[in-house]
Structure 1
Amino acid sequence: DTAQALIDQTAMVLPHVKITELLLEVDEWTGFTRHFTHLKSGDLAKDKNLLLTTILADAINLGLTKMAESCPGTTYAKLAWLQAWHTRDETYSTALAELVNAQFRHPFAGHWGDGTTSSSDGQNFRTASKAKSTGHINPKYGSSPGRTFYTHISDQYAPFHTKVVNVGLRDST
């Protein structure tokens, strides 16, 4: 009860901020959005807020349709265009490296660790149907089709690498 009262009091004094505004502030500190360049021209996205909305749709697994429906003034077509031309595996990887490095340089991160050790774990997500590369039976997850995302996290709590792993028998042992 005391802990909940403290949580409630703290929540009342915290400002209510849109997540895209928070991401814009983080981008001011780190410049991570500069890595989301246009596939052909190499140009930066003209609308940084729209780029962050597209990234957020990926991050929370909401999808572009639902994100467009929940963001006034945004359309599916705008988000889909930005996603197709500016967000790729390599742009996510370089932006993530920028964020991890910024966290590493921050003095507070040293309280968690020195950044030289890590841990890794897989998170399984079920898929609607079996694809050729998803394997057939996994000792841990059974015969349900799915993919495992294997994430490496530093001792400073920064996820520095993620790999998609097939959930077949060979990959799970």
Structure 2
Amino acid sequence: MNFNLQKSIEILERTPEIYYALFNNSMHDWDTINEGENTWSGYNIIGHLIHGEKTDWIPRAEIILGDAKNKTFEPYDRFAQEKLYSSQTTDELLNEFKTLRAENIKKLKSWNLTEVDLNKEGIHPDLKTVTLKELISTWSIHDMIHLNQISRVFVKHYAEDIGPWKNYVRLLNE
């Protein structure tokens, strides 16, 4: 197993800065381009990450660590950002994400989690029994999954403009 709490915290602390570097004060449409109908742009992803900071990772960790007998998580609306964050600018979303993530990391660190804590369980509405370690691991890679998604969108955005180099870009030939 590769899980290490400090390693996860390190990546979770850094990813808001990566999103900030990609999209803050962008003079072009990098934050709104996507892969077509029913796909997400950077703007949508940042809204999705904010919603997760508010309703997913830490609230579910609190359920796992809490004393309540019922450890069942509330269902997570993966598309809530479409309703909740459509009127904010990208820069406003970036600042909110940065603030929420810092608060959540501070809370995570304050728990001084032990191996016993990390193996405590909660009940996911679809997946059933999950551990705190699995939740934190998923939170960590969730950021990277969406960075991968953004990178793919960026690459595909110029797909028709790179001429014969397209043969060298595996992502465009899959």
- Report TM bin, short chain: under 0.3
Structure index of larger Rg: 1
Normalized per residue, which structure has more strand? 1
Larger relative contact order (Cα-Cα within 8 Å, sequence gap ≥ 6): 2
Q: TM-score, normalised by structure 2?
A: 0.24
Using the size of structure 1 for normalisation, the TM-score is: 0.24
